[in-house]
Amino acid sequence: MASESAPVTSAAAPSRRRPSVELPEFKLKNKQLNAFVVDEHEFSCKIEKAFLGYFGVRAETMGSAAKAMELIRGGQSVDLILIEKFLEDMDGIEATKQLRAMGVTCKIMAVCCYPFEEVGEQFLAAGADIYNEKPLDFEKLVEVLKELDGQ
């Protein structure tokens, strides 16, 4: 009878290969772009920041809309905001409305795990330029980055 505490050998261990992701070939050519990733989930922030960095975008992550608003009020330049519906301090749709009411004119891309069409419509009505269900659609992201970079 096998012991319950017997170690698992490497042959029996599950594979831990990283999934491969095909990323479009794109790099900024004309200017440095700055982005905010506003999402209460640290993992999502890290992933989206890494993808933005891969494309040459400088990104800062935060879990709250208040932090993004504070940075903007403080004069920090931002070209793109990726924002989730669920944030630490408020709903992302309301945050988008408030950002626009502050006079924020950068691109806002709602990146949300909520698979309902009405959520996308609400984000767009609040002032988001693009709605994207998670996972992040790299083709949509590259289209936005090309536009912001003048390509």
* pLDDT bracket for residue 20 (50, 70, 90): low
Q: Inform me whether the pLDDT recorded for 6 exceeds 60.
A: no
Mean predicted confidence (pLDDT) in 56-70: 97
* pLDDT bracket for residue 19 (50, 70, 90): low
Nearest to residue 53, comparing CAs of 76, 30, 23, 18? 23
Confidence (pLDDT) at 31: 87
pTM of this structure: 0.83
Q: Inform me whether the pLDDT recorded for 3 exceeds 60.
A: no
* pLDDT bracket for residue 4 (50, 70, 90): very low
pLDDT by residue (tens digit) across 83-119? 999 899 999 999 999 999 999 999 999 998 877 789 9
Contact between residue 45 and residue 63 where contact means Cβ atoms under 8 Å apart: yes
pLDDT exceeding 70 applies to what percent of the chain? 86
Q: Using DSSP, state whether 130 is helix, strand or coil.
A: strand
DSSP 14-59: PP-PPPP---------S---EEEEE-S-HHHHHHHHHHHHHTT-EE
* Sole residue written with tokens 């989930």: 41
pLDDT by residue (tens digit) across 123-149? 999 999 999 998 888 899 999 999 999
Q: Which residues of 96-109 are buried (b: 16+ CB within 10 A; e: fewer)?
A: bbbbeeeebebbbb
Contact between residue 84 and residue 112 where contact means Cβ atoms under 8 Å apart: yes
